[in-house]
Structure 1
């Protein structure tokens, strides 16, 4: 496996957060990981490439992503961006910005759910980003002090109530950080994670958690926003993308070892979910990795 840069940020234990505001013509920092949570805002970045876990997307004019995992690789790359003045505001903060006791209160349930989703990286709609960008710029010009911390907490609270929060990386791309708010869903996902390379049926999973197929389908959709087939394919594709990144195995072997029995169906599903072919995904990711 080619190593990813582990960034040592300047955020000290005595600081709640650090904010970096800059204007530039290109993105130059490699794919990286770090212990701190990160909220990254970009304006005038249309055409740039954002990689978070196994999510590789071309961003629009505005982009905002939240990462809340110390092992989730991420980075932004110039790609097709021709802007002469890209504006970027990066906010890095400790995981205890909100005290655990606070996050467990009913009033902060949405923030806790946002951080749970951000383990896999999340992004937001253009409308949501447009509505919050003035607060981000204001925070960037705010003198350091207690008020600035409250302002950051306010931004995160606002984002947590947005209906446009979208998870980016597949949950099985980094399975060691699985997070669910339901023991039944966790049990179902763990079963699928352990058996993804076999023939897993809806009846198998519903039996495991003691629900009828129909009841489990409704429950899964309600809790995750995905139906059974999509959930299973997400798990398979997470393993596929990890193997594309970490191995030199040919694509047909990867397809078969990850539970897809038909290469043409596999290619169709992969392109629909990732917006590119498996070969293109491998090349895109390889270009962004730092060899150390």
Structure 2
């Protein structure tokens, strides 16, 4: 029987009167537990090859250079794991209402708005984007006042136009009400999948819901999301399964069936293909690493 992990809500050092905070550390280990907070966080980590990163339900061993944007209330942690070098970390945190919603809806802010929406799942940027951002993030520490806000906005704008962003956490793991698809039909379809992921759902069901033919809806969801219908549904189900593996002590078989997988072997296969670990190993990553060394 697994124990539930201790996930803490962090009270960040960001004050209500400041736009953002930035702090830099050089250390030999990661020692902060799995946590979440209401602020956005941009985390640059250098020289930490072999460390392990958990964002939402995504677990990965990282390279020597990485930059991750974590949206509000998304659980995350970095673990020392196999890292044996001196680590440099620069963390920037800003209020989730720093940029007003009306401001973000202006045409010129569209790329940043889309990036913020994606950050609810966590974003890992390509090595090329990280290398370009490193000197700017390092110099931001020494920039003050109004110019520091302008520079942060400029950095975020450049990152938002990066060609290679990797979304980390599965859709089903986060609050689906926070997601935006810029399409009423797509929102309707995803709302239906999020609500009924534990039941049998067919392409025909969603096509009928959106007043489209099966073929049209299949092309539509692929074009708008880059994912097929069945892959989208499985991602939602795996996200919910991941959340249950962390938050409950239900057996893996119980979780499999309660998330719409009618075949435990198929669930295990899809889970391992997506997460690169078994459901049992995934659960152990959360329940077995509460003491960080």
Indicate yes or no: 2:120 matched with 1:119.
Answer: yes
**Could you give the per-residue CA deviations for residues 96-116 of structure 1, whole angstroms, max 9, x where no partner exists?**
333333211111101000000
Do structure 1's residue 14 and structure 2's residue 25 form an aligned pair? no
Structure 1 stretch 231-240 or stretch 167-176: which is displaced more?
167-176
User: What is the CA-CA distance between 1:135 and the residue it aligns to?
Assistant: 1.0
Q: What corresponds to 1:57 in structure 2?
A: 60
**Residue 289 of structure 1: how far off its partner (Å):** 4.4
Deviates most, 209-218 or 43-52: 209-218
User: What does 1:1-292 correspond to in 2, within 5 Å?
Assistant: 2-69=5-72, 71-83=73-85, 85-142=86-143, 144-180=144-180, 181-289=182-290
CA contact (8 A) 1:4 1:289 kept: no
In the TM superposition, residue 177 of structure 1 has moved relative to its aligned partner by 4.3
Structure 1 contact 38–90 (Cα < 8 Å) conserved: yes
Q: Provide the aligned C-alpha RMSD in A.
A: 1.5
**What runs of 5+ residues in structure 1 fail to find an aligned partner?**
none
- Cα distance in structure 1, aligned partners of 2:227 and 2:290: 31
What per-residue deviation string (whole Å, max 9, x for no partner) do you get for residues 133-169 of structure 1?
1111111232x21101111111100010112122111
Q: Is the 8 A contact 1:171 1:178 kept in 2?
A: no
C-alpha distance after superposition, 1:201-248 (max 9, x if no partner): 111111101112222122212222211111000011011111111112
Distance (whole Å) between structure 2 residues aligned to residue 87 and residue 95 of structure 1: 25
Q: Secondary structure at the match of 1:111?
A: helix
Report if aligned partners of 1:66, 1:123 keep a CA contact under 8 Å in 2: yes
Looking at structure 2, the residues matched to 92 and 64 of structure 1 have their Cα atoms a distance apart, in angstroms, of 13
Q: Give the superposition deviation at 1:28.
A: 0.2
Distance in 1 (alpha carbons) for counterparts of 2:154 and 2:278: 40
Q: 4+ residue runs of structure 1 moved beyond 6 angstroms?
A: none
State the SS of the aligned residue for 2:288.
helix
Worse overlay, 253-262 or 152-161? 253-262
How far, CA to CA, are the matches of 2:80 and 2:272 in structure 1?
A: 22
- 1:47–1:78 Cα contact (<8 Å) kept: yes
2:104–2:110 Cα contact (<8 Å) kept: yes
Structure 2 Cα separation of the partners of residues 176 and 287 of structure 1: 28
Name the stretch that deviates more: 221-230 or 32-41: 221-230
Which secondary structure state, in structure 2, belongs to the residue aligned with residue 270 of structure 1? helix
SS of aligned partner of 2:208 = helix
Q: Which ranges of structure 2 fall in alignment gaps of 5 or more residues?
A: none
Helix, strand or coil for the counterpart of 2:99?
Answer: coil
Tell me, what secondary structure is at the counterpart of 1:10?
coil
Change in Cα spacing, 1:176 to 1:195, as seen in structure 2 (3 Å) is: closer
SS in 2 for 1:21: strand
